[in-house]
Amino acid sequence: GKQIFSSKTEYRISALKFHPTESNVFICGGFSPEVKAWDLRTSKVLRVYKAAVQQTLDILFLPEGREFLTSTDAVSRDSADRTIVAWDFQSAAKVSNQIFHERYTCPSLTLHPKESVFVAQTNGNYMALFSALRPYRIKKKKRYEGHKVEGFAVGCEFSPDGTLLVTGSSDGKVFLYNYHTSRIIRTLSAHKEACVSAIFHPVLPSLLATCDWAGEIKIWQ
């Protein structure tokens, strides 16, 4: 294949997401106080989002792509502001930085496929549920816990029909939760190393892919 985009950044990239409706645009961030939107057609930066943090952990576009969220490493003993930041995509304005008030970083974010909610994986060893509409309030009655994160960038994802929530675990297991009840439905002893990602097949709902910290990938049915 032919390379269609090339650009060097002054920092190491750890998160990259394509815009849900503008296929030539993506946002990337990493070990930098800034997040940047790029255009594949020109290989140039479209917009810069200045977060005043050290690292962006994950990026999540909200429905239609008018706004997006970044999770960051900005947690201190006194304040948890800027842990999750909401941005206006077009203006680069910060919409909110008072979304998650627990003093845990959130290594990954995932959007529900049908409802206006998103989940944040937290280093408090639980996943928190939020409204995907302003003011993005946390839903305190639902909390998905039982797995372990322990500083790993453990990913989480909803099933295509939105009924299940899957996550890896630092002990190598995979946990499947009922989205509505937040109860654990099943666990899989998937890997010897920390399981950092578990993803449903987009078309075949019975297939699940997992990978671990050492790079091993498994397909489950």
Taking only the tens place, the pLDDT of each residue in 155-177 is 999 999 999 999 999 999 999 99
State mean pLDDT over 16-39: 95
Question: If pLDDT is split at 50, 70 and 90, which confidence band does 183 have?
Answer: very high
Whether the pLDDT of residue 6 is over 70: the answer is no
Q: Are residues 106 and 204 in the same domain?
A: yes
Q: Are residues 144 and 90 in the same domain?
A: no
Q: Are residues 174 and 207 in the same domain?
A: yes
| 108 falls within a domain | yes
Q: Are residues 90 and 109 in the same domain?
A: no
90-136 pLDDT, tens digit each: 999 999 988 998 889 999 999 999 999 999 999 999 999 999 999 99
The whole-number pLDDT of residue 177 equals 98
Judging by beta carbons within 10 Å of its beta carbon (0-12, 13-18, 19+), is residue 19 exposed, middle or buried?
Answer: middle
Q: Are residues 47 and 79 in the same domain?
A: yes
Question: If pLDDT is split at 50, 70 and 90, which confidence band does 58 have?
Answer: very high
Q: Are residues 212 and 186 in the same domain?
A: yes
| 221 vs 205: CA distance, rounded Å | 9
State mean pLDDT over 48-59: 92
Which residues lie across from 36 on neighbouring strands?
28, 48
Please report, for the chain, how many H helices and E strands are present, in that order.
0, 19
Instruction: Give the domain extent around 172.
Output: 102-220
Q: Are residues 191 and 106 in the same domain?
A: yes
Question: If pLDDT is split at 50, 70 and 90, which confidence band does 60 have?
Answer: very high
| 125 vs 137: CA distance, rounded Å | 20
Q: Are residues 117 and 190 in the same domain?
A: yes
Q: What are the angstrom distances between the C-alpha of 3 and each of 7, 17, 173, 177?
A: 11, 18, 37, 40
Question: Can you tell me whether residue 65 is helix, strand or coil?
Answer: helix
Percent of the chain with pLDDT over 90: 84
Q: Are residues 202 and 155 in the same domain?
A: yes
Whether the pLDDT of residue 2 is over 90: the answer is no
As for how many domains the chain has, the answer is 2
Q: Are residues 19 and 93 in the same domain?
A: yes
| 190 falls within a domain | yes
Q: Are residues 18 and 85 in the same domain?
A: yes
